Amino acid sequence: MSIKSKAFVAGAFEHPRREIPDRSVSQIHAEVAVGALRDAGLGLSDVDAFFCDGKTGFGAVSLADYLGLKLSYIDSTQTGGSSYIVHLGHAAAAIASGKCHVALITLAGRPRTQQQREQLLTDAPEYSFETVYGLTTANDYALAARRHMYEYGTTSAQMAEVKVAASHHAQYNEHALLRDKVSVEEVLESPMIADPLHRLDCCVVTDGGGALVVVSPEVARNLPRDCVKIMGWGDATKHTMNGRPDLTFSGAAWAGPVAFCEAGVKPSDVDYASIYDSFTFTVLQAVEDLGFCKKGDGGRFVSDGGLVSPHGRLPFNTDGGGLCNNHPGNHGGMTKVIEAVRQLRDEAHPAVQVPDCELALAYGSGGRISTRMVAAAVVLGRQDA
């Protein structure tokens, strides 16, 4: 069953704060839920499906109780940074099958004020082979980046171009954690975290959250504002492949084509892309795997303003992304969808709004790209397109 044009994003809201010491995670969930529903012209009593990452209390069940939701559908899928794009696809499928009509998706986290360290999953099957020897998210991504450099001649300066583009956009976002523009040289001069990744190659850590409201076509037609059409969605898992992993590509190489095929469009049709940016290399690899350029050409594609809005080859992350704006709880896929919705509604900052933006892609990456990860991509379009 295709979900094409069978569900619409009617509401989107991003929490304006990046440090929230005076709220619980549950309170942040509630604030973003109300914000997204207000944006859609709906209320909590209209919601009949709820999606979140399941990390609070008894997961989605606790939050449904806290929000007072009466539900016919609930989902607490957890795939890291891709979770909320997975949720978007699941919500669209549930609506298309008639299981629900108004789905609320919420994200909230406080890793900045709670000073959370990287979670050690001691009961995971890979723990005794990897984590105990010091494998962390940063050096895992560094392995993939270094291999890509070896295979294709990619340079640290090319990866730094991703940060430069993100910082150019972030200067216009009053809520972004980092609003200062940076140069390639400044990225390369920042401290090394895990060779070849410098500190400015890494995403920020913030408190915050966001929410989406996904509705059926029947509900969308009666709402007071423009909605965004869900046109195609795909996800894919990539892991260690029995000890023979190719570190130069990610699960996006499988998820992207599925989303584009369902939407009936090509990567070259996309006007704007929200791409998960846990590290600068994550973006460079993703633009290749999603089909925006050939494998190995990512470094050249992102160089010379290739990602800068509005006139780059592929305007991306016009809110500043995870590299500069907001990355709450290591689930940056939510904010990727929110900014894509803004672009399609012509609600991005005028300095970075893509003219006549008709088609957008949002992509999330969860896990670690050198070991195991889930990639998810969604193609979005204007309601009347």
Q: What angle do CA 64, 9, 80 make, to 5 degrees?
A: 60
- Look at strands 208-215 and 102-109 and give their pairing: antiparallel
How far is CA 97 from each of CA 7, 75, 216, 356, rounded to the nearest angstrom? Answer: 10, 15, 10, 32
Hey, what domains does the chain have and what are their CATH numbers? Answer: 8-114+203-382 (3.40.47.10)
Phi and psi at residue 108, to the nearest 5°: -150, 145
Where do we find the tokens 């050198």?
Answer: 370
Amino acid identity of residue 164, one-letter, is: V
Q: How far apart are CA 189 and CA 166, in angstroms?
A: 17
> Residues near 117 by Cβ (< 8 Å), separated by ≥ 6?
none
Residue 205: per-residue pLDDT:
94
CB 332 within 8 A of CB 81: yes
Distance of CA 43 to the CA centre of its chain: 25
**Side-chain half-sphere CA neighbours of 57 within 13 A:** 15
Tens-level pLDDT at each residue, the chain (385 residues): 799 999 999 999 999 999 999 999 999 999 999 999 999 999 999 999 999 987 777 889 999 999 999 999 999 999 999 999 999 999 999 999 999 999 999 999 998 998 766 666 678 888 788 888 888 899 999 999 999 999 999 999 999 999 999 999 999 999 999 999 999 999 999 999 999 999 999 999 999 999 999 999 999 999 998 999 999 999 999 999 878 889 999 999 999 999 999 999 999 999 999 999 999 999 999 999 999 999 999 999 999 999 999 999 999 999 999 999 999 876 789 999 999 999 999 999 999 999 999 999 999 999 999 999 999 999 999 988 6
Q: SS3 for 26?
A: helix
**Side-chain half-sphere CA neighbours of 204 within 13 A:** 25
